[in-house]
Amino acid sequence: MADRLLSLPSSADAAIRAHGEMTYPHECCGALVGRNGHVTSVVGLPNTTEEGPRRRFLVRPSDYREAERKASELGAELLGFYHSHPDHPARPSQYDLDHAWPTFAYVIVSVTGAKAGDLTVWFLNDDRSSFEEGTLHHAEDSHSDSAQAVHRQA
Amino acid sequence: MPKILIPTPLRPYTDKLDAVDASGATVGELLADLTRKHSGLKAHLYTDQGKLRSFVNIYVNDEDIRYLQHEQTPVQTGDTISIIPSVAGGAPSVTDVVTGLPQLTNDEIKRYSRHLIMPEVGVDGQRKLKAASILCIGAGGLGSPAAMYLAAAGVGRLGIVDFDVVDFSNLQRQILHGTPDVGRSKLASAKDRLQALNPEVHIDTYETALSSENALQLFEPYDVIVDGTDNFPTRYLVNDACVLLGKPNAYGSIFRFEGQASVFGVKDGPCYRCLYPEPPPPGLVPSCAEGGVLGVLPGIIGVIQATEAIKLVLGVGEPLIGRFLIFDALRMKFRELKLRKDPDCPVCGTHPTVTKLIDYEEFCGVRHAATEPATVNHATEITALELKQRLDRGDKLKIIDVREPNEYQINRIAGSILIPLGDVPRRYHELDPNEALIMQCKSGARSGRAADFLRSVGFTNVLNLKGGILDWIDKVDPSQPKY
């Protein structure tokens, strides 16, 4: 598969890192909103997992819909989702793979001891066999609707 | 034809369409038609076993089909079916939680095979058991079956607290111990038995009386505490220590034909004090030593405690939290009471007044002979030897045995009169308030209460036989059996 790109403005990058640090030692999660591989906004979403938020996240259908609504309000669409790996590297787990949607960009930020570190992006292969690491392009903020993180408690 | 709304990530498989028509009478048929037309969708919607993936949510007109009839939910023309993603993931967890757990050896796989083939336990569950540590308070009636089943089940670390020695009277129910163990420490006997049952289990023994000074430290390394105590001060102590440490307490108690079980000490669940904020007045509730207990009863209740401990470790099923189970062996009936967390509970409520361990003997109003010097209060007590001397001297003494008739059948002091404690207030008129009375029971507690009562109604010459008939047999008449 061709190398896939995701362009992430530095404010979105910062918002994702801040979200991960805020929820540490729990996982944070949120939606990536934009167009044609360019993220324009990130939308922080509540982690509603019932399996222990230290190692799991879940965006429930109602929040997915809300993120979708938010995206269309901004005249954009959902490009994917981000989540944090507290005290684990920014690489997708088997669980991530098992639950992945195609075409979506999966941004993972590693948070070690409440400090955000590596930030990577991944795309599911068509046959669901693995993730392909994509290339992050750290764009400067150019859009008026620049990154905003909405931190909500479940 | 019903319309299916396609979410963003799946649109590449539907020629970028966000809505697709499909035909069928049920959701299942509709999706089958959809995946026939757009074959790329199948792998993302269904597992290899042909089941809808857990993170795929299907809504019929805004209603999740999980709350309708699943894939059999009927659909009509004009209905809108939406595929809505849940997005899930996490740190390398399935593999990772598991990497924190010990591996099973081939021997262990053989040993636990009946667990491993159950989906609720499986290899990961067995590894959780191996990683788990459970502390049993007491190696007696309840502790015996609980510890044996926990060891057999493969709990990695089992702690036992006890300071007693095996006695013949234990063997009727304390199946950890056998006849050759009489006179040995219960811990040594328990360790041998458990290790024979399962050498894979690591066993820690604590030969000490549980106290406010050592409880927190003893409990700290354990995941679950199994309360097999037989007295109120220790029961409150175990409860409070579990609440303070946030550790689940698999509680059980037994008396005669009746048993109780529950799980206390869990966050958001009630504790023993939510049920009984205050202990009963001392002496009101007889112990098993005084009232007896059916030998098989701790087998049932102790195994319920072990079951709850195992469920808590595995994280499966519905734990006995907020539920109080009462078992009646005579009627062979289980009853269940709902227990609510008391917001005003002094230890687990919203404004707790008990924030550290207290003096539980004082709290329960018991200061036992064990802590008192072994002196005789000559105004109220008499020893077995003194009684023997006075009887030999020909003193005119009336011995009143306040035990139950079935106890009286086992052994007695020659010439004693049986008036069970409960009958004393009704029958004391049969006695002369000025004659010399010796009150006697098994070990001196009940007769002490009877003596107090008689003095309160004007008897002037009442002495309690210190140590009861047990002391009498030890010091004066070893020919009689003890119980």
The full set of domain ranges for chain A reads 5-139
* pLDDT tens, position by position, A84-143: 998 888 999 888 888 999 999 999 999 998 899 999 999 999 889 889 999 999 877 654
Residue among B63, B37, B57 at smallest CA distance from B45: B57
Find the distance separating the first CA and the last CA of chain B, reported in whole Å.
Answer: 84
What's the mean per-residue pLDDT of chain A?
86
Coil, strand or helix at B277: coil
A46-75 mean pLDDT: 88
Query: Bigger pLDDT: B355 or A150?
Result: B355
Name the residue of chain B whose CA is nearest to A25's CA.
B91
Residue A147 has pLDDT above 70, yes or no: no
Q: What are the tokens at B235?
A: 């029961």
Indicate the range of A30-39, A142-151, B120-129, B315-324 predicted with least confidence: A142-151
- Measured in whole angstroms, the distance separating CA A96 from the mean position of its chain's CA atoms is 12
pLDDT at B440: 96
DSSP letter at B476 equals T
* pLDDT tens, position by position, B379-438: 899 999 999 999 999 999 999 999 999 999 999 999 999 999 989 989 999 999 999 999
Residue among A121, A146, A119, A141 at smallest CA distance from A131: A121
Coil, strand or helix at B152: helix
pLDDT at B306: 98
- pTM for the model stands at 0.56
Which residues of B fall within a CB distance of 8 Å from A103? 8-12
- The strand order across the sheet containing B56-60 reads B19-21, B3-5, B80-85, B56-60, B63-64
Residue among B255, B278, B274 at smallest CA distance from B326: B255
**pLDDT tier at B364 (50, 70, 90 boundaries)?**
confident
pLDDT at A87: 86
Residue B246 has pLDDT above 50, yes or no: yes
**pLDDT tier at B368 (50, 70, 90 boundaries)?**
low
- Residue of A48, A79, A93 for testing the chain B interface, max B β-carbons within 10 Å: A93
- Residue of A78, A99, A123 for testing the chain B interface, max B β-carbons within 10 Å: A99
Residue B367 has pLDDT above 80, yes or no: no
> How many separate helices (H) and strands (E) can be counted in chain A?
3, 9
- The CA distances from residue A92 to A43, A56, A86, A131, in Å, are 21, 12, 12, 7
pLDDT at B32: 94
Catalytic residue among B242, B288, B345, B348: B288
Model ipTM value: 0.85
Report the relative pairing of strands A77-86 and A29-35 from DSSP bridges. antiparallel
B77-83 mean pLDDT: 91
Does the beta-carbon distance from A96 to B90 stay under 8 Å? yes
pLDDT at B113: 96
Residue B95 has pLDDT above 80, yes or no: no
Which residues of A fall within a CB distance of 8 Å from B89? 29, 56-57, 81, 83, 92-93, 95-96, 99-100, 106
* Superfamily name with CATH number, domain B376-475: Rhodanese-like domain (3.40.250.10)
- With b for 16 or more beta-carbon neighbours within 10 A and e for fewer, the B366-396 pattern comes to eeeeeeeeeeeeeeebbbbebbbebbeeeee
Dihedral over alpha carbons B51, B54, B56, B60 (to 10 degrees): 80
Which residues of A fall within a CB distance of 8 Å from B11? 103
Residue B270 has pLDDT above 80, yes or no: yes
Does the beta-carbon distance from B89 to A87 stay under 8 Å? no
Active site residue B441: yes
Q: Which amino acid is at A95?
A: Y
User: Are the CB atoms for B180 and B226 separated by under 8 Å?
Assistant: no
**pLDDT tier at A55 (50, 70, 90 boundaries)?**
confident
Does the beta-carbon distance from A65 to B84 stay under 8 Å? yes
B156-168 mean pLDDT: 96
Is it true that domain B3-85 has CATH number 3.30.565.10?
A: no
User: Strands (DSSP E) along B265-395, which ranges?
Assistant: 323-328, 333-338, 381-382
DSSP letter at A26 equals S
Is it true that domain B132-363 has CATH number 3.40.50.720?
A: yes
Element (H, E) at B234: helix B232-245
Coil, strand or helix at B463: strand
B22-45 mean pLDDT: 93
Tell me which residues of chain A, numbers 3 to 32, contact chain B at a CB-CB cutoff of 8 Å.
27, 29
Topology of domain A5-139, per CATH?
Cytidine Deaminase; domain 2 (3.40.140)
pLDDT at B417: 95
B336-342 mean pLDDT: 92
Based on its alpha-carbon atoms, the radius of gyration of chain B, rounded to whole angstroms, reads 32
Residue among B151, B229, B154 at smallest CA distance from B190: B151
**pLDDT tier at B75 (50, 70, 90 boundaries)?**
very high
Active site residue B242: no
* DSSP symbols for B358-386: --HHHHTT---GGGS-S---TTTEE-HHH
Give the largest Cα separation in chain A, rounded.
39
B268-286 mean pLDDT: 84
The full set of domain ranges for chain B reads 3-85, 132-363, 376-475
**pLDDT tier at B93 (50, 70, 90 boundaries)?**
very low
CA distance linking residue B176 with residue B189, whole number of Å: 7
